[in-house]
Amino acid sequence: MTEPVRQLFAVAAPLIRANVDTDAIIPSREMKTVSKTGLADGLFAGWRYTTIGGRDPEPSFVLNQAPYAQTQILLGGENFGCGSSREHAVWALHEFGIRSVIAPSFAPIFFGNCIRNGIVPVRLAAEAVQRIASWVVIDPPVHRVRVDVDALCVEAGEGMRWTFELDPESREMLLEGLDAIDLTLKSKADIDAFLERDRIERPWIYRLPEHA
Amino acid sequence: MTARTLFEKLWTSHLVRELGGDTALIAIDRVFLHERTGSVALKSLSESNRTIVDPARVFCTMDHIVDTRPGRGDDTVLPGGKAFITETRAAAEAARIRLFDVRDPLQGIVHVISPELGIVLPGATVVCPDSHTCTQGALGAFAWGIGSTEAEHALATGTLRVKKPKAMRVRFEGELPPTVTAKDLSIALIARFGSVGGNGYAVEFAGAAVEALDIEGRLTLCNMATEFSAVTGFIAPDHKTLEYLKGRPYAPRGADWARAADAWLALRSDPGAVFDREIVIDVSNLGPMVTWGTSPQHAVPVSGCVPAESESGASPESYQRALAYMGLSSGIPMYDLEVGAAFIGSCTNSRVSDLRRAAEVLRGRRVAPGVRAICVPGSMSVKRAAEAEGLDQIFKDAGFEWRESGCSMCFFAGGESFGAKQRVISSTNRNFESRQGPETRTHIASPETVAASAVLGRIAGVDQLPAQARAS
């Protein structure tokens, strides 16, 4: 069960680089235990700190700058979240306080991981993301960005409003914070019926040799 | 009946029910886990008092952070990595799933052992919390990478809620020049159509050049579908697929085999089937490829130069950042780039045919002075097969380290790396910033290009090797 997310009105930080991969979001070396938590410190570690494994903040990195202290929205570049499937990237973002990423495109696994963890992935044209960024940087704490999952729109000050697309299932997941397993188990009768048919249709899928 | 794509057939044969919009509940035939991301799925499942619906169809391996140095045990080079090994082992035993453990003779990289053991089958759905699961589509499966939460869902329900991707076909037509491999096809595709070219699509690879590939080459081609941002890549099964699978430990036997084989050969796109997008690439004028930048789309022929910004296909920001990171400038010939290290391995290119082709280049030659060269077979079965052919000796004589199987230095987990600003020629799949270690500069290529570059100490194609360089 994740917390529902309906509407955000928050500080947005521009990190507009193409192909920000999940290893940049949470380096493998920062995944220290078999856990979904304890990851926020490792978020963007390679960019955020001055040394590998160190914790001295790199002043030029956007999330280390005072006006971006309350950032909940990231403005990203093309192919955001590419690379490794590690959900730790999304867990780290969420633990840090990020609730939405606005970018021209997302890697598919990262996109799905966002939906399942209460982070709103918003696809907007590169020019729109750039316009939001240009407006935000003028005064980040005041120039807050609105992300509305109900209305599927983004607002950034006067006259800057864009709608975005999200499939109904993903929207519902975010709005309700639903546990997908519980939801699916409501279809157990359908699953059982499928299996009954399929065991006849494709017996080799189910009749595995004794474990080799 | 209307003509259907292969993807449509894979989709509908696993359709449990529609969920509205483009989303459906899809039956999952095989789940594979590994110690890096599967461990947390098993742990979370058990903490929520849920169980695996059919443990016989779930498999687990130790590949990502397991040590690959000779004489390995549970200790990892990555500090704290041992906990991932021991916790995965305990969780797999408790869940009663087949674990290919550290000392198991069948251990190896998930996308190498799943095909070689016949766990992935044509027409099956296969998921794993690993982005390169698309590799397994080479056998005609619908195989794709997921997150750990989705893995829990697949384990607990035997299904996934999936948004239906659009259908793309990429046809590689023409005759493949002898120096061009499946790896070069995949890099050429991404270089031409971009690292988001496949976003939103399930991609069927087809055409004469794909049919001509052996199964291991097809696995390499499908492996890189995720670098194309595709949901998956796959290839229609044919007689080569059947021949490859027959007799493998988990493949069907007897009457099941005969029935399955018939069904599998019907798994192909019908003539006239309509794709949402179709790409045709003439392979006859392609050459070996290598990456120059920090995305697989930053690639040129080995005989080419670092492109100008206007020719690079990258945004100005991405182009400048990549050049700075890689320590390059526009117009430098790739041949001029000295390498300090060479790596052959990974789920992309670590199968016995990959090692055989690299060994053929290395036979009687030595890596250039100062080049650190490492070969990591993709599985213990691959390692044994290579040793039976004497390939290990060729690698060792050439100055390569010969390792135990695993993902090894394809990525940096906090243990071994090639060093800051070190230029590495690598048979792997990702040249991202710091992928192989902080500030390490990775150039991706085929195993034979890696071998030739290691010998010459600079990026080079096999055709660059002088015959007289042979020591014997």
The domain ranges of chain A are: 7-177
Q: CA torsion B214→B216→B220→B225, rounded to 10°? A: 80
Q: With respect to residue B433, please indicate whether it lies within any of the assigned structural domains.
A: yes
Do B286 and B175 contact (CB within 8 A), yes or no? no
DSSP state letter for A21: B
Going A95 to A98 to A100 to A102, the CA torsion angle's sign is negative
Cα–Cα distance measured from residue A100 to residue B407, given in angstroms and rounded to the nearest whole number: 32
For residue B447, give the amino acid letter.
Answer: P
Of B23, B145, B249, the CB nearest to A85: B145
Asked which of B231, B253, B277 is the last residue of a domain, the reply is B277
CB B194 within 8 A of CB B303: no
The tens place of each residue's pLDDT in chain B, 472 residues long, gives 799 999 999 999 999 999 998 999 999 999 999 999 999 999 999 999 999 999 999 999 999 999 999 999 999 988 889 999 999 999 999 999 999 999 999 999 999 999 999 999 999 999 999 999 999 999 999 999 999 999 999 999 999 999 999 999 999 999 999 999 999 999 999 999 999 999 999 999 999 999 999 999 999 999 999 999 999 999 999 999 999 999 999 999 999 999 999 999 999 999 999 999 999 999 999 999 999 999 999 999 999 999 999 999 999 999 999 999 999 999 999 999 999 999 999 999 999 999 999 999 999 999 999 999 999 999 999 999 999 999 999 999 999 999 999 999 999 987 889 999 999 999 999 999 999 999 999 999 999 999 999 999 999 999 999 985 444 4
The token pair that represents A28 in the structure block: 């493998």
Q: For residue B219, give both structure tokens.
A: 């696995």
Which of B62, B98, B161, B294 is the best substitution to test chain A (most A C-beta atoms within 10 A)? B161
Contact B147 A87 (CB under 8 A): yes
Query: What is the C-alpha to C-alpha distance for residues B353 and B336, in angstroms, rounded to an integer?
Result: 29
H-run or E-run covering B10: helix B6-12
In this structure, the strands spanning B58-61 and B30-34 are parallel
Rounded Cα gap, residues B10 and B122, in angstroms: 9
Q: Which of B225, B441, B454, B234 is nearest to B342 (CA)?
A: B454
Q: Which residue has the higher pLDDT, B69 or A2?
A: B69
CA distance A1 to chain B (A): 11
Burial degree of B349 (CB within 10 A; 0-12, 13-18, 19+): buried
Residue B223 belongs to a domain? yes
Q: Which pLDDT value is given to residue A2? A: 82
**pLDDT, position B472:** 45
Residues A76-133 pLDDT 10s:
999 999 999 999 999 999 999 999 999 999 999 999 999 999 999 999 999 999 999 9
Same domain, B294 and B406: yes
Is B438 in Cβ contact with A46 (below 8 Å)? Answer: yes
What range defines the domain where residue B301 resides?
Answer: 289-469
Could you tell me if B36 and B137 lie in one domain?
yes
Nearest residue of chain A to residue B124 (CA atoms): A205
Of A29, A181, A191, the CB nearest to B152: A181
Compute the distance between CA of residue B241 and CA of residue B265 in angstroms, rounded to an integer: 9
User: A209 and chain B: CB distance < 8 Å anywhere?
Assistant: yes
Residues B237 and B299 in one domain: no
Closest-CA residue of chain A to B416: A29
Could you tell me whether strands A153-155 and B98-100 are parallel, antiparallel, or unpaired per DSSP bridges? unpaired
Q: Check residue B470 and give its pLDDT.
A: 47
Using CB atoms, which residue from B148, B230, B433 is nearest to A87?
B148
Does A48 score more than 60 pLDDT? yes
- Closest-CA distance, B40 to chain A, in angstroms, reads 5
Instruction: Count other C-beta atoms under 10 Å from residue A40's C-beta.
Output: 16
- Is the C-alpha dihedral spanning B457, B460, B466, B467 positive or negative? positive
Check residue A158 and give its pLDDT: 85
Is there a single domain that holds both residue B57 and residue B149? yes
The reply to whether B268 and B213 lie within a common domain is yes
pLDDT, position B407:
96
- For residue B238, the Cα-to-chain-centroid distance in whole angstroms is 21
Q: Does A23 touch chain B (CB under 8 A)?
A: yes
Distance to chain A for B104, nearest Cα, Å: 11
Q: Is residue B138 part of a domain?
A: yes
Residue at B385 is within a domain: yes
Q: What is the CATH number of the domain that holds B202?
A: 3.30.499.10
Distance CA B418, CA B425 (A): 11
- A180/B contact by beta carbon, under 8 A: yes
Fold topology of A7-177: Aconitase; domain 4 (3.20.19)
The beta strand positions in B296-357, using DSSP E, are 299-301, 341-344
Q: What is the mean pLDDT of residues A169-188?
A: 94
% of chain A exceeding 90 in pLDDT = 92
- Per the DSSP assignment, residues forming a β-bridge with A120 are A100
- Chain A residues whose beta carbon lies within 8 Å of the beta carbon of residue B87: 34
| A45/chain B closest Cα distance in angstroms | 11
How far A111 CA lies from chain B's nearest CA (Å)?
A: 10
Contact A84 B411 (CB under 8 A): yes
Q: Both B345 and B453 in a single domain? A: yes
Sheet holding B166-173, edge to edge: B232-234, B201-206, B166-173, B277-282
Total domain count for chain B? 2
Q: Establish if B131 belongs to a structural domain.
A: yes
**Confidence band (pLDDT; 50, 70, 90) for A212?**
low
Among the three residues B245, B277, B309, which one is the final residue of a domain in this structure?
B277
Chosen domain end from B244, B277, B310: B277
